[in-house]
Amino acid sequence: MEMVIYMKGLDCPHCGEKIRAASEKVSGVREANLNFMAKKLLLNVEEEFAETVFNGVKKIAADIEPDVVISRIDGAAENTEDLVFRMKGLDCPDCGEKIRSAVEHIKTVRSAELDLMAEKLIVSAEAGNSAAVLSEVKKITCDIEPDVEVSVFENSDTGADEDDDLRPELIRIAAAAVIFAAGIALRNTGYALWIFLAAYIAAGYDVLFLAVKNILKLRPFDECFLMTAATLGAFIIGEYPEGCMVMILYQLGELFQSLAVRRSRKSIASLMDIRPDSAFVRRGNEIVRVSPETVSAGEIIVVRPGEKIPLDGIIVSGNTTVDTSALTGESVPAEAAAGAEVLGGCVNISGVIEVEVTKRFGETTVSKILEMVENASAKKAKTERFITRFARLYTPCVVIGAILLAVIPIIMNGYNSDYVYNALECLVVSCPCALVISVPLSFFGGIGGASARGILIKGGVAMEQLAECGTAVFDKTGTLTDGTFEITGVYPAGRSADELISLAAMAEQGSNHPTASAIMRGFGGTPEKADITETAGRGVRAVSGDKTVLAGNSKFMDENGIENVPVIRSSGTLVYIAENGVYAGAVEVSDSIKPDSEKTIKKLSEMGIKTVMLTGDRREAAEVIADRLGVSEWHAELLPDGKVSAVEKIISGSRGKTIFVGDGINDAPVLMRADAGAAMGGIGSDAAIEAADVVLMTDEPSKLIEAIKISKKTKGIVIQNIVFSLAVKAAVIILAVFGIANMWAAVFADVGVCLIAVCNAMRARKI
The residues carrying an active-site annotation are: 475
- Per DSSP, the three-state class of 27 is coil
Helix axes 433-451, 93-104, angle to 10 degrees: 90
How far apart, in whole angstroms, are the C-alpha atoms of residue 306 and residue 111?
Answer: 45
- Per DSSP, the three-state class of 714 is helix
Q: How many CB atoms lie within 10 A of CB 479?
A: 28
Q: Find the DSSP H helices in 414-532.
A: 417-429, 433-451, 460-467, 497-508, 514-523
Backbone angles phi, psi at 584, to 5 degrees: -115, -15
How far apart, in whole angstroms, are the C-alpha atoms of residue 134 and residue 49?
Answer: 40
Question: Do 111 and 104 contact (CB within 8 A), yes or no?
Answer: yes
Question: Do 693 and 375 contact (CB within 8 A), yes or no?
Answer: no
Backbone angles phi, psi at 8, to 5 degrees: -65, 125
How far apart, in whole angstroms, are the C-alpha atoms of residue 143 and residue 141?
Answer: 5
Residue 495 neighbours by CB under 8 Å, 6+ apart: 584, 585
How far apart, in whole angstroms, are the C-alpha atoms of residue 53 and residue 270?
Answer: 50
Q: How many CB atoms lie within 10 A of CB 535?
A: 14
DSSP one-letter code for 749? I
Q: Find the DSSP H helices in 105-221.
A: 130-144, 167-185, 192-216
How far apart, in whole angstroms, are the C-alpha atoms of residue 718 and residue 724?
Answer: 10
- Per DSSP, the three-state class of 220 is coil
Residue 320 neighbours by CB under 8 Å, 6+ apart: 305, 335, 336, 348, 349, 350, 351, 352, 353
Give which of 664, 657, 660 is closest to 715, Cα–Cα.
Answer: 657
Question: Do 479 and 613 contact (CB within 8 A), yes or no?
Answer: no
Question: Do 755 and 249 contact (CB within 8 A), yes or no?
Answer: no
How far apart, in whole angstroms, are the C-alpha atoms of residue 574 and residue 588?
Answer: 5
How far apart, in whole angstroms, are the C-alpha atoms of residue 251 and residue 172?
Answer: 10
Burial class (CB in 10 A: 0-12, 13-18, 19+), 289: exposed
DSSP one-letter code for 68? P
Q: How many CB atoms lie within 10 A of CB 648?
A: 13
Q: How many distinct helices (H) and strands (E) make up the chain?
A: 25, 30
Give which of 627, 293, 328 is closest to 480, Cα–Cα.
Answer: 627
Residue type present at position 100: R
Helix axes 703-737, 417-429, angle to 10 degrees: 170
